[in-house]
Amino acid sequence: MRGHKKAADVITENCPFAITWITYMELLKGARDKAELKDIISEISRLKIKVLQASPEQSTLAITIMRDYHLRNSLDIADAINAAIAISTGSELLSANTKHYSMINGFRFVEFQP
């Protein structure tokens, strides 16, 4: 969270919650060193955050979402996968990424304003 109190508060207030496998990978990729990587892994475990895997059906839906929305707003692969998993599980998706998620139909997008 790198000192973003509002983000930390939202995470703490919504525990337990789930993230997708690709979001977990993005968090790991954002680590600047081994200590930060260890902290990320520890926090995910401590907060009992469930990591959602993609089924073959969700992967197919992600491809459809990418096909339908990529050219409209530069939707990226991770966002298509996250949306597909949210749609298929009936979950709401909390993100500050309004540009990519707000136009996708089929799930509840909750905008987080940092």
pLDDT digit string (tens) for 20-39? Answer: 999 999 999 999 999 999 99
**pLDDT < 70 positions in the chain:** 1-3
* Separation of alpha carbons 14 and 108, rounded Å: 16
* Separation of alpha carbons 26 and 47, rounded Å: 18
How many domains does the chain divide into?
A: 1
- Give the predicted TM-score (pTM) of the model: 0.86
Write the CB contacts of 81 (distance below 8 Å, at least 6 apart in sequence): 20, 22, 54, 58, 59, 62
Other beta carbons within 10 angstroms of residue 90's beta carbon come to 9
- Tokens representing 57 are 């059906």
Range of the domain at 32: 5-111
Where residue 14 sits, what CATH number does that domain have? 3.40.50.1010
